[in-house]
Amino acid sequence: MRVHTLKRAVVALALALPGTAIAAVVAAPAAHADGCYTWNRNLYQGRSGSDVRELQLRVAGWAGNRNIVELDGRYGPKTAAAVRRFQSAYDLRVDGIAGPQTFAKLYELQDNDCTPRHFTWSEMDDGCGRGGWTGGPLSAAETRQNALRTMWKLEALRKSLGDRPLTVSSGFRSRTCNSQVGGATDSQHLYGNAADVVSRSRSLCQIAREARNHGFSGILGPGVQGHNNHVHLDSRRENNRDRSPNSTYQAAPNCGIAASSD
């Protein structure tokens, strides 16, 4: 479990105070609250910067039906809408403004290695069990960043499924691993953008249907060849190689999700 330090409390107090009081409290650089990331100001529409991008990463799973939150560092309407959905899901004040309550909940969900509470780097790391983030089309850093975004989307999906556990059966795959398991030559697994998931307490169809609301632009489930024992979820619209707005694909015929793209 994380240690909630006095420094984090000071930062939260500073965010809650107006005007000159804020300047007085946070005149010195704030220390990291938990070993990953600390926000030092309230965020809302019109603001921009790396702190906005860090927020977008963590609320990407609250994008809404068939939508995505771009990690562009600009707090626009889609980011505000995602924050409102996050706030509603965790019984916070729903105003679309990322302030002390919203950050406190994110800190609670966030481990020191930046992963969300219920998912780990190891379960997203090379599905053939060899470990490492190399061997794909992207650099290790880019692949890990994509995998981190995938985990935060899975955290949101898990919450909406009643906080029931989701198990990742395959995450990032190197080219060698992908070939070994018979994956598509341009699989999103190669980029860290994908996760195959199962659950003991939720059906595959429940997962596939709910995933449509959590930023996944690729959904393949029961009724699709090779996907009758798991649901494949990916972020193909955000693939560094493919920023086409017409790259969403969903299909799980046995769940009432007819094959569609837009």
Sign of CA pseudo-dihedral 132, 138, 139, 142 = negative
Longest alpha-carbon distance in the chain:
61
Of the listed 189, 214, 227, 230, which one is catalytic? 227
Q: What are phi and psi of 146, to 5 degrees?
A: -65, -40
Query: Tokens 């009643």 sit at which residue?
Result: 162
Residue 90 CA, distance from chain mean position: 16
Determine the 3-state secondary structure of 128 from DSSP.
coil
Helix (H) or strand (E) holding 117: none
Residues 217 and 231: beta-carbon distance below 8 Å: no
- 214 in catalytic set: no
Residue 105: which of 95, 113, 93 has the closest Cα? 93
First CA to last CA across the chain, in angstroms?
Answer: 42
Q: Which two tokens stand for residue 50?
A: 């790396």
How many Cβ atoms from other residues are within 10 Å of residue 25's Cβ?
16
Compute, in degrees rounded to 10, the torsion defined by CA atoms 72, 75, 78, 79: 90
* Catalytic residue numbers, as ranges: 227
